[in-house]
Structure 1
Amino acid sequence: MSALFEPITLREVTIPNRVWMAPMCQYSAEPEGPLAGAPHDWHFAHYAARATGGTGLIVVEATAVSPEGRISPYDLGLWNDTQVEAFRRITRFLAAHGTVPAVQLAHAGRKASTDQPWKGGAPLGPQARGWQPLAPSAVPFDERHPVPTELTVEEIGGIVERFAAAARRALAAGFEAVEIHGAHGYLINEFLSPHSNHRTDAYGGSYENRTRFALEVVDAVREVWPADKPVFFRISATDWLQDDGWTTEDTVRFAGDLHAHGIDLLDVSTGGNASGVTIPTGPGYQVPFATRVKTSTPMPVGAVGLITETGQAEKVLANGEADVVLLGRELLRNPSWARHAARELGAEIRVPDQYHRSV
């Protein structure tokens, strides 16, 4: 059997194959009004196409736990029940076609309140539907971004509660798994890294203090999420800094903590928390970070980052470098990547009745 098309069971949820879709923001939700943050026809068509294309699990893009937690005014959210109802249309379709629906819960922290990328992605002020970003410390991401407001301890607790409330709504919306976004320079990652966390209280300084907020979020989500359904955590394994940053060694240590707190899979990415760094990209460039976690801890891992070819993805799994692969841009280019890969590998995959003539 192909390693890529072997099912995997996490808790009591079985995913039919190991071709997963990585969360990728579409920046296409309504920015304001009663439907702000709710998915609409674009999101339905986008995710439905990857489900009919055979993707085993889809992680819906970064979905904000509060309005001020959005990366842009055009992000999805799960802070109200109108959004829940809109998501149900997507999760029903994915499940009906054999794809496990998952959603990434997120807070953008100091990188919030920016424009759509195709419009330049610049920070937006209040006059352009923007707002004041929040962060562990009053340290801007770069010279373009405003100085964020440092969160109080009381406000930190409120955000933890927001993650739990969003997880409850994700369950009501029909999702079978949730992923906590702790990567790419967004709020949780900002707390983890000494590059962005300059606090001197119980949430800053030592490794234990810098990981406190993340573990509080994990505990809050795990408490409200069913025991038979998995929770994932996405991490940036390194800030790609020579010093004063989050490191691979920190990630390995933290993976053990996350596993002890009930996380079922670590989705391993890198970068995003420091501007101007040089990242040596290339095919599968982030896979070694996932492998390091997998060989050092009991935590199942997902590998991501320029995984584009069938043989490449199969090798990652067959060699035990990761437990699943998450495809991003390649699934934007080819929604039916999984079906094409199954054909190359001689593996069986579910095909919609309407598409049987293509087999």
Structure 2
Amino acid sequence: MANPIYNAPVEGLPFFSPQHANSPGSAIELNADTPTLFKPLKIRSKTLRNRIVVAPMCQYSAADSGPLEGALTPYHTVTLGHYALKGAALVFIEATGVQPNGRISANCPGLWSDAQIDGVKAVADFIHGQGGLCGLQLAHAGRKASCVAPFIAMKQGLRNVRATKDVGGWPENVVGPSGGDSEVWDGKSIDDPKGGYWAPRELSISDIHELVQDWGKAAARAVRAGVDVLEIHGAHGYLINQFLSPVTNKRTDQYGGSYENRTRFLVEVIKSVRANIPDTMPLFLRLSTTEWLENTDVGKKLGSWTIDDTIRLAKSLPDLGIDLLDCSSGGNHPDQQLNPFGTDAKDYQTKLAAQIRKAVRSEGNNLLIGAVGLITEAEQARDIVEEATIKEEAEAVKKMTEPGNGKEPMADVVLVARQFMREPEWVLRVAAQLDLDVAWPSQFLRVRIPKL
């Protein structure tokens, strides 16, 4: 019989962490009135304690050279671990390069080497100690690689700055499905002081095959590190997104041209990752569901990746082993025209997610859908009192996942990013606004209050 006064540890960790009576952020009592947002969700062998996920957020805080190049540090454990401590169900490690030249900056993390496993394991161990799940996003930046950290660029009054060799960059090894000066993301020449990107070289067939293998190898390392969920990054103008779009993929071989050819690289990456992880492990895919180029000159000339393409792809994803589609948008071309729902709309991406979910579910497809970009920007929200703001946010995320009046929910999970950086306790605040009793961290119970 367990000793009722014994401070029991979480088993399986390399350090002491007390076992919470209830995992933070989980509903104390589940009943018919519990919002879907705070009901557990099982995906393969893993169960999310609620439907709130911390989306991957680049931090530009890994070493750019040396034996720990690309490895996560205590900084990542502190920031990501705190989100789990305060109740997030699943916390994603930021975009992690499957090859050294796949990083956005020299200070981004990677998993191309066994030397990088321990850093990931440290993050995963801490998250597990709080009853949360650890996710990791596997990525390759393609033609948007070899840049400096944005907070460095800001000091120069620029949005983006090329990283040269002397600051850890790799100007000669930036790659894409198509290459040359015409394929620079921002269209600016090397002589333009306001240019922020390098001209990519075109990947060869052997390069592509190596990339597919390296995605699988990185996935295997993530499993060894104790990661619970993997996500393949196919959004925001990075390499997979570049292959999908006819704007950036001008190849004439088996990886370019038709829809089937442009999606071939992604399909091969999915198969490679799935083959290197357990069948019990959930696998997500993040996509830019539209490029917002349909009404632009470049889109009319070359075509673009649209919501209809995403729906077509989404219907095939479960058979490939994808469990959840993480719906974002844009990022592949500077001429994008965002938000056809109106300049004041704050939920254009969630409407895209809802459209995709409705389309796939109408055919009996059980692909889960994640919505990102729901939460208002701080500068848009501070014109009203704080309590009204969090109440608005709480009701919005509740509505996202709640079926009602014969309608399907807009999404199965919500992915929140920057709001967690502003308010790590955001899950607890949302629960309080919904008058829901959820667990707090054991160490914080002495200061627990009914509303934050």
- Check whether TM > 0.5: yes
8 Å contact kept, 1:178–1:231: yes
Give the deviation of 1:161 after TM superposition: 0.6
Aligned to 1:287: 350
Q: Which residue, out of 165, 168, 171, partners 2:220?
A: 168
Give the deviation of 1:48 after TM superposition: 1.2
Aligned to 1:113: 146
Give the deviation of 1:3 after TM superposition: 1.4
Structure 1: stretches of 5+ with no match in the other structure: none
Distance 2:326 2:260 in 1: 21
Instruction: Supply the RMSD in Å over aligned alpha carbons.
Output: 1.2
Give the deviation of 1:348 after TM superposition: 3.8
The one-character-per-residue Cα deviations of 1:53-105 (angstroms, maximum 9, x if unpaired) are 10010111001111111000000111112211111111011011111100000
Aligned to 2:310: 251
Give the deviation of 1:352 after TM superposition: 1.4
Q: Which runs of 4+ in 1 moved over 3 A?
A: none
Aligned to 1:304: 372
8 Å contact kept, 1:230–1:264: yes
Q: Which residue, out of 71, 74, 77, partners 1:38?
A: 71
Give the deviation of 1:111 after TM superposition: 0.3
| Match status 1:124 vs 2:163 | yes
8 Å contact kept, 1:237–1:289: yes
Structure 2: stretches of 5+ with no match in the other structure: 1-33, 154-159, 189-194, 377-392, 404-408
Query: How high is the TM-score relative to the length of structure 1?
Result: 0.98
Distance 2:359 2:177 in 1: 30
- Name the SS for the 1:46 alignment partner: helix
Aligned to 2:229: 177
Aligned to 1:140: 184
Equivalent residue letter for 1:283: K
- Name the SS for the 2:312 alignment partner: helix
8 Å contact kept, 1:65–1:106: yes
Equivalent residue letter for 2:267: L
Aligned to 1:24: 57
Give the deviation of 1:146 after TM superposition: 2.3
Equivalent residue letter for 2:65: E
Matches within 5 A, 1:209-224: 209-224=261-276
The one-character-per-residue Cα deviations of 1:163-195 (angstroms, maximum 9, x if unpaired) are 000000000111011000000000000000001
Distance 1:190 1:286 in 2: 20
Q: How many residues align?
A: 359
Q: Percent identity?
A: 43
Aligned to 2:283: 231
- Name the SS for the 1:50 alignment partner: helix
Equivalent residue letter for 1:8: L
Give the deviation of 1:119 after TM superposition: 1.4
- Name the SS for the 1:76 alignment partner: coil
Equivalent residue letter for 1:344: Q
The one-character-per-residue Cα deviations of 1:106-147 (angstroms, maximum 9, x if unpaired) are 000000000000112311122332112110001221223222
Query: How high is the TM-score relative to the length of structure 2?
Result: 0.78
Equivalent residue letter for 2:208: I
Give the deviation of 1:346 after TM superposition: 2.8
Aligned to 1:315: 399
- Name the SS for the 2:315 alignment partner: helix
Distance 2:368 2:413 in 1: 8
Give the deviation of 1:292 after TM superposition: 1.4
Instruction: From the superposition, tell whether residues 271 and 328 of structure 1 become closer, same or farther in structure 2 (CA, over 3 Å).
Output: same
Distance 1:157 1:146 in 2: 23
8 Å contact kept, 1:238–1:246: yes
8 Å contact kept, 1:98–1:350: no
- Name the SS for the 2:445 alignment partner: helix
Distance 1:210 1:349 in 2: 45
Aligned to 1:92: 125
Equivalent residue letter for 2:165: P
Aligned to 1:349: 438
Aligned to 2:19: none
Equivalent residue letter for 1:73: A
Give the deviation of 1:307 after TM superposition: 2.1
